[in-house]
Amino acid sequence: MGGRSMAVKSNLTNMVLCLFTTCLVCGAILAGVYALTAAPIAETSAKILRASIGAVLPEEGELSEPQEASLAGQTYEYYTLKQDDEVVAYAVKSTVVGFGGPLTLMVGVTSDGVVYNTSVLAHSETPGLGAKCNTDEKFMAQWKGFDTTEKILSVKKDGGDVDAITASTITSRAYTQAVANAVALAASLKGADEADDADDQDDDDKDEGGEEND
């Protein structure tokens, strides 16, 4: 070990000065690095989000910025996919309580109520059991093209058409619930869109009526 003598004797001035300088220098360095990495971080997280949305929606079309809507007391973040100025599908971020904690899905729903695909954004399910919702091919494949107008969105045990993961009924139920919430939101969004369109239609009718009166 060294012949270096240990530190300076403390007095109030050098203690305060030293702590202050350290904090200032460290803060400045971090601010600099933060400024440098801010752009790559934003880019990376945008890329991840884009990828998760892209996985659950058809490829063609124009993706909207994130929007928010609430249904039954819960607020959802969603994205719309437009083809020729017409909304053809929604991607809804849907969170429910799973077995081990929050289970967050990205659910793609087309405007005619068919689930296009789903993907897991975050989960804390039991490894090897509930966590299979993210890896089990059979479980994941059944969501592709799940037509909610023909099939019932609940697990087979509860009289629905969803094949549960073996030994993980609670996770499967939660997953199904998350999809159902997303489908319900998509339906209400579509309903709202159509109501808007209908309003426009009414306005047009009125205008036309006005013209006739003249």
Partner 1 sequence: MEILLIIVSAIFVNNIVLAQFLGICPYLGVSNKLSTATGMSLAVCFVITLATLVTYLLNKYLLVAFGLEFLQTIAFILVIAALVQMVEIVLKKVSPSLYQALGIFLPLITTNCAVLGVAINVVTKEFTFGLPSHMLGLGEAVLYAFATSLGYGVAMVLFAGLREHLALCDVPKAFKGVPIALVTVGILAMAFMGFSGIA
Partner 2 sequence: MLMTRMMMTKMKEEKKMTKFQLITKGLVKDNPTFVLLLGMCPTLATTTSAINGLSMGLATLFVLVLSNMVISAIAPVVPDKVHIPVYIVVIATFVTLLQLLMQAYVPDIYATLGLFIPLIVVNCIVLGRAEAFASKNSVLDSALDGIGVGIGFTVSLTVLGLVRELLGSLSAFGWKIPGTGDGMLAFVMAPGAFLCLGYLMVLFNKYIAKK
Query: CB of 48: closest distance to partner 1 in angstroms?
Result: 17
Q: How far apart are CA 183 and CA 120, in angstroms?
A: 16
Site track 146-185 with partner 1 (rule: CB under 8 A), x = hit: ------------------------x---------------
Instruction: Write the CA distances from 111 to 22, 127, 144, 205, integer angstroms.
Output: 58, 35, 15, 26
Q: Is 71:184 a contact under the CB 8 Å cutoff?
A: yes
| Side-chain-facing half-sphere of 4: CA atoms under 13 Å | 5
From 49-57, 100-108, 150-158, 197-205, span contacting partner 1 (CB under 8 A): 100-108
For residue 130, give the DSSP letter.
Answer: G
Number of other residues whose CB lies within 10 A of the CB of residue 129: 16
Q: Where do contacts with partner 2 occur on this chain (CB under 8 A)?
A: 1-2, 4-11, 14-15, 18-19, 22-23, 26, 29-30, 33-34, 37, 40-41, 44-45, 48, 126-129
Q: Where do contacts with partner 1 occur on this chain (CB under 8 A)?
A: 23, 26-27, 30-31, 34, 73-75, 95, 97, 99-102, 104, 126, 170
